[in-house]
Amino acid sequence: MSWEQVYEQWVNDGNLEENLKQQLADLKEDPEKLEDAFYAPLEFGTAGMRGILGPGINRMNIYTIRQATEGLARFMDEQDDNTRRRGVAIAYDSRHMSPEFAMEAAKTLAKHDIPSYVFESLRPTPELSFAVRYLKAFTGIMITASHNPAAYNGYKVYGQDGGQMPPADADALTTFVRSIDNPLEIQVLSDEEVEHSGLINIIGEEIDTAYLKEIKTVTINQDLINEMGKDLKLVYTPLHGTGKMLGEKALKQAGFEKFALVPEQAVADPDFSTVKSPNPEEHSAFEYAIALGKKEDADLLIATDPDADRLGAAVRLPNGEYQVLTGNQIGALFTEYILAAHKQAGTLPSNAAVLKSIVSSELPTAIAAKYDVAMLNVLTGFKFIAEKIKQFETDHSQTFMFGFEESYGYLVKPFVRDKDAIQALVLLAEVAAYYKKQDKTLFDGLQDIFETYGYYAEKTISVTLSGLEGPAKIKAIMSKFRTQAPSEIGGVKVVQTEDFKARTIMGLDGNEAKMTTPASDVLKYVLEDESWIAVRPSGTEPKIKFYIGVKGENQKDAIEKIAILEKAINEITGD
């Protein structure tokens, strides 16, 4: 069926939601946007789906939500009745249509006689992960587009362990979703039927209380917080998202008294009206926090993204200004503090392990080695960290201490199986208190780490290639790197090529070794001077990402190495 035929199907549907009907009428005057909305279904993959709000099969709307949930319901219908009756936990963030999408998902499940547990109001993604485990639900749905701009929303599916659904189940679910030809024909329970069904259960306070109880275990040195918590000056912004309620409570129960919320950004706002992008990776997201930090003479500024699974931070410099840290730098600060604090307390297990993604900094690897702790690399995507935690619990081979991704995702305690910015918020405040007791800032602490382990630096370059031609361009770039593998980059010899799709490692001697990780469309090049470059398509956005990691003799040397490699990448890709 052509996109024009699909469009006509929508236009002629007498039951189409009025708001979408009006948007369709407006799109009629813009053929290019109209084609983009209907040329192909919104991609549903292992991370769920994410897209621009609006009418069409390539947009987020109640019908594409129904389609995704109908696929999930059919997947659950294949399970035994006891498994089905465990139901689905559903949470949502502060975005446009998030509450409506959550209820549409619940009503679609109810049509299949599958119970759901829907939060009464917006909640963070990590609490949804926790809720799946706490309620012993079969699966979970999170309505969120994470840190994307206001025009987006999304749909993420979680497995019964609270992690994002594992590949085998995700592939089966995706098959069911893609087998549905017309999302307009999917039936849901009416509001009247919902009232009498008893299938949609509203949850809230009980889960909050249980989650916050577990958050207490994130604190490593309570005596330190008791001593310094009243003096540490912290500014926190939830960037108009879900982090405020639980973040504020978590800080207070840990013992941090002098924290200030950025008032303009403490209010849930689907338009994210004070920021260009509600992304703690972006320096501009800290504009209001920096202004308040200077007024309060704050030691540390912390921001969480709209669904509170990612955390960013800015540290005070000697001149009174603030510097936004990278995700890798925060990961290094966490790794050093967690391992040092546990070693000092005598609670560092002999089989301790830290987990990180293959595109994250090697600085935490050097830190772990000092403490004789294993560092294990996994594919990008926090579900792979969750899988390793599950393995540790099964075979007792390692004890999980910390997991992180360079993209500002951290997990301290495994009562959640996804990135958890609420956990990170509490622990980063503790790390800041540790350095404050020594009359140091987190900036000073980071310099101590560099002086001890070496000057590591990283940079991520994201290239957005949206529209009809975007996927083809991304494939072409990956193909070019794969078929014309560089022997040197930026004048430095490539000593090892890692192809995670072919699952091969090729050294200078030409010998090929096999990887044990699952296949993934990632290429990584290790250079003679310990620098490395990785390239991969984004799993959730129309982007291709390049990752650069270097180790320099000093900060200036590291920055220069980054610049040389970035220029080389641009030359290879033709930019």
Active site amino acids: 146
Instruction: Determine contact, residues 44/68, Cβ cutoff 8 Å.
Output: yes
List of residues 6+ apart from 381 with CB closer than 8 A: 46, 47, 164, 357, 539
Instruction: Give the closest residue to 285 by CA, choosing from 242, 239, 335, 323.
Output: 239
Do residues 360 and 366 lie in contact, with contact meaning Cβ atoms separated by under 8 Å? no
CA 522/CA 544 separation, integer angstroms: 10
- Enumerate residues 6+ apart whose C-beta is below 8 A from 175: none
Decide if 270 contacts 300 (C-beta within 8 A): no
| Contact predicate 261/244, CB 8 Å | yes
CA proximity to 339, closest of 223, 449, 454:
449
Cβ contact 411:385 at 8 Å: yes
Check: CB of residue 105 under 8 Å from CB of residue 116.
Answer: yes
How distant is the alpha carbon of residue 24 from its chain centre?
32
**3-class secondary-structure state, position 500:** coil
Distance CA 116, CA 199 (A): 6
| Angle subtended by helix axes 3-11 and 31-38, to nearest 10 | 90
- How far are the Cα atoms of 108, 217, 472, 543, 570 from residue 469, in angstroms, in the given order? 34, 48, 6, 12, 20
